[in-house]
Amino acid sequence: MVKRIFYLFWGLLLFGLGIVLTIKSNLGAAPWDAFHLGLILYFPLTLGQVSQLTGILVILISYFLGIKPGWGTVANMYFIGIFIDYFMASSWLFVPTSWLAQLGMLLVGILIIGWASFFYLSAAFGAGPRDSFMVGSIEKTGWPVWKVRTVIETSVAALGYFLGGPVGIGTIIIAFTLGPSIQWAFSIMGKRAQDIEHDPLVIRSRES
């Protein structure tokens, strides 16, 4: 259990760092991050707080789609928002000025998110809010994963764009490389994400 908790929080910390690196690369944020950055233009909230509020809404929608949250789902929603605000305010994370440095920061961020996904998913406390929403949508529509993922990501990216969020070449790069980054991390560790059995958000009695 101690190892699982460590994996969970280490993964969430890395997730916050990876997200901020992709944002600070200034090449275009991931669809959900572009949406969050668009929202903060209209509300007196930090990026992390918008991420948390969006996460709560997505968890509720996923629940009505039949996907029960796990402890990791709630921790993902809450702590990644905190870590995002921490790293956004960190002075040691500079904003690169050259195109090569921007691309390098973006790719490092994607690589870190891949490992972050491995750690928090390996903790088996539940998938993140947005992944749960994707799974619920797949079960309700019967569509394949790629189709549901594409519809969700493109819709969120479009909303982010119209809200004024940073959608650019980096958004496209993230869309095509994030999945392979996560797969690479699992392959190195000799695991498969689909083999992980997550604990639901319930407290079991000793008799059970």
| 44, part of any domain | yes
| 203, part of any domain | no
| 34, part of any domain | yes
| 164, part of any domain | yes
Alpha carbons 32 and 18: distance in angstroms, whole number: 14
- Structural domain boundaries enclosing 82: 2-194
**Residue 114 pLDDT level (bands cut at 50, 70, 90):** confident
pLDDT above 90 (res 164): yes
Give pLDDT tens digits for 49-74: 999 999 999 999 888 888 788 888 88
| 201, part of any domain | no
| 175, part of any domain | yes
Contact 11, 123 (CB under 8 A): yes
Q: How many domains does the chain divide into?
A: 1
Alpha carbons 1 and 111: distance in angstroms, whole number: 26
pTM for this one? 0.84
% the chain with pLDDT above 70: 90
**Residue 191 pLDDT level (bands cut at 50, 70, 90):** low
In this structure, of 34-38, 132-136, 179-183, the range with the lowest mean pLDDT score is: 132-136
